[in-house]
Amino acid sequence: SLTTIPSHFSIPNSVYSITGMFMSSGIKNLPSNFTIPEGVEYLDTLFYECTGLTQLPANFKLPNTTKSMDQMFYGCTNLNNVTFLATELGDDNNWGFWMRGVSSTGTFIKAKEMETSILQEAGVIPNGWTIKDQEKEDSSVFWNKLYS
């Protein structure tokens, strides 16, 4: 079973859907350089039930072309550290399910510019998680705008 994605792994720019790519795979670690390229639109169930996954790399980025990420981390029961630096949320998304079934406690790091209440109302942050602002000044390391 695949537990670590090799650091040389890359998703081709021509791919528009990576739905279920690592679903139930046993992934525990993502390399620090793991990225999803612009052009990818569908990330549904990407890490569905990857119960060994505990955190995302600090530079993990969703492309601005993302249209759907329903159940992206569903059932990742040990995921307890997420950096989410969007400064806007789009209208058509499934935030309530993107992290359903993750660890009951964890740390959610957000962009300083993003209102906590907006994230909570949209269901972006799992209940029971500690919310912190990113300490770096430049939030473009992750992504500045989701669903432009």
Structure confidence at residue 54 (pLDDT): 92
Q: State how far the Cα of 99 lies from the Cα of 35, in Å rounded to an integer.
A: 19
Question: What does the block give as tokens for 106?
Answer: 């964890």
Interior angle at CA 29, CA 70 and CA 2, nearest 5: 85
Report helix, strand and coil shares of the chain as percent, to nearest 5.
Answer: 10, 10, 80
pLDDT value at position 92? 56
Residue among 51, 2, 15, 9 nearest 33 (CA): 9
- Answer left, alpha or beta for residue 75, where phi above 0 means left and psi between -120 and 50 means alpha: left
DSSP state of 119: H
100-110: string of b/e by CB count within 10 Å (b at 16+)?
bbbbeebebbb
Helix (H) or strand (E) holding 109, with range, is: strand 107-110
pTM across the whole model: 0.80
pLDDT in tens, 24-65: 998 998 998 888 998 998 999 999 999 999 998 877 777 878
- For residues 47 and 76, the answer to whether their CB atoms sit within 8 Å is yes
Task: Give the model confidence (pLDDT) of 67-76 as tens digits.
Answer: 888 899 999 9
What is the average pLDDT score of the chain?
A: 84
